[in-house]
Amino acid sequence: MLAPAFPSMPAPGRRLSSFRSLVSAAIAVVSLLPALAALALADDTSAGRPISGRWSVREGDGKAVYLFRDGGVDGDRQIDLFSHHMRDSNKDGIDEVRLSHDRDHLVIESQGYPNHPTAIFPNSGNPNTIRVQEFTFRLPLVPQQSDRITRLPMGPIGVALNGVVFFNPFEQGGMNAVEGYSEVWLDSCCGHPQQTGVYHYHKYPACVKSPFPDDGRRHSPVIGFAFDGYPIHGPYEADGLMAKDIEGALAGPLAAQPLDSCNGHADPVRGYHYHVTPGRFPYIIGGYRGVPEPSNNRDLRRPREGAIVDNAEGEGRHSAGIADVRPGAVPRGGRREITITLAAADGHGRSVPAEKPSWVQVGPYEAVAVERQGNVVKATLDIPADATLGVLLDCHLECGDGVGPGRRVLKKNDALRVTE
């Protein structure tokens, strides 16, 4: 069982002030992670009681541990995907993620509450507040491939291992939320809350910790599940190759095919599975290749057909306030300084705030120190030794201490890459 990476987390509606003081404690824990990961791996290989499909369960005195056979490095690995997230990070007496099962489904009860740092909402980029939810999702234990693609509904389309939901790439109104002039303000963890406070991801959330780090050298681990029960993996198919970049069948025993319009493909070890595609529509999944469980989203009771199609037009505005982030890549496992050069105006023609940012974050990594001289901001980040490699992380900064439109937020997409 993994120890928590963060000893404590902020209460709902608050995030950082309490969090900041815990950074050094978190670093101490992070430095133990390789040893803990080894323990977890040893622990995870002890077989559970098979339930159905790729799932088994280990029931002891405490919480039942659900194991998923992901066809990982050693072919038939049983992994505990969820225990890392079955904790009460927001200190309300309820674990964010709770698991059970019935004959046909893994049942995930979730608070939908991010257990990683986020922007403070509301802010100038979003008027909504992140709220604790009471979700119950059912994942088919044995996904059924369909002869037709089911159209993704609006609202939740799947769930990440931390219980936070995935949305399709469109915002209300039907336009691309990730790219083009309709781009919305997503924080560095690629999420934001909608009107009822549901924090959700529209693209690969580099902040969702999987029990296994993603070093880009092999097939990415599972980061969540679509509502048809098929797993969603990180971006990599093989060493240095993202699944989105597969052209023609790969050589080798698995002979992986290019991704289909749902962002999925099949191989003999994993069966059908999805990959996130950083920087490329549909970013998470493009449709359901399997039969989605209708109780998870009202719109699935009368499903429509077909993969979604990109409708991005023009240029996004949200990156306009930050001219430059340097260096573009930093090695993991240490304290790194980055230089953020602010532009004269943000994407809405307003001059950028004059004060020192109260918060700077790149992907999941919060700055531990921030300095500003003129339009140059220097931020110090602690990059853990098990940081995800190779993926371009977004950077966001916040100015002001209030909440609401006066809290000015700036953003730059694809700002920093962590290397070895």
Cβ-based nearer residue to Zn ion, 232 or 340: 232
Q: Which residue in the shown chain puts its C-beta closest to Zn ion? A: 237
Q: What string marks each residue from 143 to 182 as x (binds Zn ion by CB under 5 A) or -?
A: ----------------------------------------
> In the complex, what is the shortest distance from the CB of residue 44 to Zn ion, in angstroms, rounded to a whole number?
21
Q: Cβ of residue 348: shortest distance to Zn ion, in angstroms? A: 19
> What character string, x for contact with Zn ion (CB under 5 A) and - otherwise, covers 214-243?
-----------------------x------
How far apart (Å, rounded) are the C-alpha atoms in residues 188 and 78? 31
Q: What does the block give as tokens for 179?
A: 């790219």
Cβ–Cβ under 8 Å, residues 92 and 11: yes
Whole-number Å distance between alpha carbons of 133 and 77: 32
Crossing angle of helices 33-44 and 23-31, rounded to 10°: 60
**CA-based nearest residue to 357, from 298, 390, 293, 400:** 400
Cβ at position 374, least distance to Zn ion in Å: 34
Q: What residues between 31 and 90 interact with Zn ion by CB under 5 A?
A: none
276 vs 381 by CB, closer to Zn ion:
276
Nearer to Zn ion, 6 or 199 (CB): 199
Helix (H) or strand (E) holding 322: strand 322-326
The C-alpha atoms of residue 83 and residue 65 are separated, in whole angstroms, by 7
Cβ proximity to Zn ion: between 116 and 372 the closer is 116
Measured distance CA(394)–CA(295) in Å, rounded: 34
Which residue, 237 or 346, has its beta carbon nearer to Zn ion?
A: 237
CB atoms within 10 A of CB 76: 10
With 0-12 / 13-18 / 19 or more C-beta atoms within 10 angstroms meaning exposed / middle / buried, residue 349 is: exposed
| Contact criterion met (CB below 8 Å) for 239 and 390 | no
Secondary structure in 3-state letters for 184-241: CCCCCCCEEECCCCCEEECCCCCCCCCCCCCCCCCCCCEEEEECCCCEEECCEEECCE
> By three-state DSSP, how is residue 10 classified?
coil
Q: Minimum distance from CB of 378 to Zn ion (Å)?
A: 31
| Least Å from the CB of residue 312 to Zn ion | 15
CB of 83 to Zn ion, least distance (A): 24
Footprint of Zn ion on 190-209 (CB under 5 A): none
Nearer to Zn ion, 81 or 340 (CB): 81
CB of residue 197 vs Zn ion: minimum separation in angstroms? Answer: 12
Distances (CA, A) of 15 to 167, 276, 410: 23, 27, 18
Distance in Å, CB of 34 to Zn ion, minimum: 25
- Residue 35's φ and ψ, nearest 5 degrees, are -65, -45
Residues numbered 389 to 418 that lie near Zn ion (CB under 5 A) are none
> Which lies closer to Zn ion via its Cβ, residue 186 or residue 367?
186
Nearest residue (CB) to Zn ion, 6 versus 201: 201
Minimum CB distance to Zn ion, residue 335 (Å) = 33
Q: How far is the CB of 307 from Zn ion (least distance, A)?
A: 18
Phi first, then psi, for residue 43 (nearest 5°) are -60, -40
Query: Is 183 or 237 the residue whose CB approaches Zn ion more closely?
Result: 237
Question: Is the Cβ–Cβ distance between 167 and 305 less than 8 Å?
Answer: no
Across 343-375, the runs of DSSP E, i.e. the strands, are: 359-362, 365-373
* Number of residues binding to Zn ion, judged by CB under 5 A: 1
Looking at the Cβ atoms of 2 and 190, the one nearer to Zn ion is: 190
Kindly list the residues in this chain that would bind Zn ion in the complex (CB under 5 A): 237
